[in-house]
Amino acid sequence: MKLPKELQKKKTANSRQLTENRAVREMVKSFKLEFLRVKEKFKDKREVKFMKIEDKGRFSILIPLYRDERNPAMCFWTESFIEIYFGMGAISNFFKYYNFNLEQYKKMLREIAWHEYGHIISINTSYDIYPKQIASMIKSGSYTFNEIEAEVDYSKEEEINQSLTQVNVLTIGRAFREFLANYMVFKQITKKIPSMLLIAHGIGIVSHLRSLRRGFINPSHQSYDKLFLLLELSSNHFIHDKWDILTNEVKKYRIEKIFEFIYHASSNFQKIINNFSEYKNQIDIVHELAPLLDQIDYKDMVLNNTLDIHSIKLLCNFN
């Protein structure tokens, strides 16, 4: 007997959901195996705890800072253990954004595992990313996220931000850490090109470009954050010398000057990493870079595809 149309649709939807759930489990397994393989390569003896974002752990209190519909894995680490929280919903959302087969999705998760371990070898512990008092608050386990957020002293960063009219030094710091992780993957983990991430990030860049101009008609902090997200997403294109692929993908949008700016900013990030080996020194120099980045006329760059010679000199001459 043939099922009514509504029941047929429900059955098809349920079957699709089961297929996606199995695929997500395989993708997560692929991440775990690759992460452990890389960890073994570095003779890293720390315990690894693989968790879901709903699970309770040492760093679970910070999940609201990183939870995002496109963030599949959030990694935190100390000198004795590593916690990785999987955003299962974010991984499921990959099926909306990309048209890959299962093996390609699994390959992308392996490349994400490289990136997450890149963070670990870039910075001694997760505590080093935040102001000092956050470490004791997290260790105590007795504070809520809102209490930590209220107590954290970003005075150094806020002092810098007081002198800035466009960019936010915290946003620049995040972009730098993402670049740093990818650069350390290339330098210390593997010379393999993260081909699936290049494709996925290219798709993400095009998606953001569609709304970027609209956001700069009356720029807000979100407008500048979205611009610097392009810097994050394009870092592997820069590191692996695939910049021509990226610029060809976005050529029809007539935004060449945006990517000229991003290329120069990436060059400065690379210069900082090559000149300073410790993260605390690197981030201090990134803070020095922020006032120079604030001098660029981003509105004119985004809306009119221009980047004046003064801005180019600022970016090229930064030491």
Give residue 15's pLDDT.
Answer: 53
Burial per residue of 270-287, b for 16 or more beta-carbon CB atoms within 10 angstroms, e otherwise: bebbeeeeebeebbebbb
**pLDDT tens track for 18-33:** 789 999 999 999 999 9
Rounded-to-integer distance, Cα 243 and Cα 238, Å: 6
Tokens 């981030």 correspond to 283
Closest-CA residue to 219 (of 165, 287, 163): 165
Report which listed range, 8-12, 58-62, 209-213, 266-270, is most confident. 266-270
Q: Is 7 part of any domain?
A: no
Give residue 131's pLDDT.
Answer: 72
pLDDT value at 2 more than 80: no
Domain match, 130 and 165 both: no
Which residues, in sequence order, are bridge partners of residue 47? 81
pLDDT value at 8 more than 70: no
Q: Is 137 part of any domain?
A: yes
Look at the chain and report how many structural domains it folds into.
2
Concatenating the DSSP letter of every residue in 98-152 gives ----HHHHHHHHHHHHHHHHHHHHHSS-GGGGS-THHHHHHHH----HHHHHHH-
Of 103, 127, 152, which residue is a domain's last? 152
Give residue 254's pLDDT.
Answer: 85
Average pLDDT of the segment spanning 54-72:
80
pLDDT value at 294 more than 50: yes
Which residues, in sequence order, are bridge partners of residue 49? 83
Q: Is 92 part of any domain?
A: yes
Q: How much is the pTM?
A: 0.91
The pLDDT-based confidence of 11 (bands split at 50, 70, 90) is very low
Q: Is 1 part of any domain?
A: no
Q: Is 24 part of any domain?
A: yes
Domain match, 173 and 112 both: no
Q: In angstroms, what CA-CA distances link 132 with 62, 129, 138?
A: 15, 9, 11
Average pLDDT of the segment spanning 55-70:
79
Give residue 7's pLDDT.
Answer: 43
Domain match, 203 and 313 both: yes
Domain match, 172 and 108 both: no
With beta carbons less than 8 A apart as the criterion, state whether 73 and 86 touch.
Answer: yes
Average pLDDT of the segment spanning 277-297:
95
Give residue 70's pLDDT.
Answer: 67
Angle 71-76-78 from CA coordinates, rounded to 5°:
170
Q: In angstroms, what CA-CA distances link 312 with 210, 288, 301, 316?
A: 25, 17, 12, 6
Q: For the purposes of burial, counting CB atoms within 10 Å of the CB of 143, is it exposed (0-12), middle (13-18) or buried (19 or more)?
A: middle
Domain match, 124 and 224 both: no
Q: Is 3 part of any domain?
A: no
Domain match, 161 and 63 both: no
Give residue 200's pLDDT.
Answer: 95
Domain match, 144 and 174 both: no
Closest-CA residue to 184 (of 31, 42, 34, 36): 42
**pLDDT tens track for 77-88:** 999 999 999 999
Domain match, 287 and 216 both: yes
Q: In angstroms, what CA-CA distances link 70 with 46, 54, 95, 160?
A: 27, 16, 11, 30
Q: Is 167 part of any domain?
A: yes
Domain match, 230 and 312 both: yes
The pairing of beta strand 73-77 with beta strand 47-52: unpaired
Domain limits at 98?
A: 13-152
Of 152, 181, 214, which residue is a domain's last? 152
Rg (CA), the chain: 21
**pLDDT tens track for 159-201:** 888 899 999 999 999 999 999 999 999 999 999 999 999 999 9
Tokens of 4: 């009514």
Domain match, 254 and 222 both: yes
Domain match, 128 and 186 both: no
Domain match, 283 and 195 both: yes
Q: Is 296 part of any domain?
A: yes
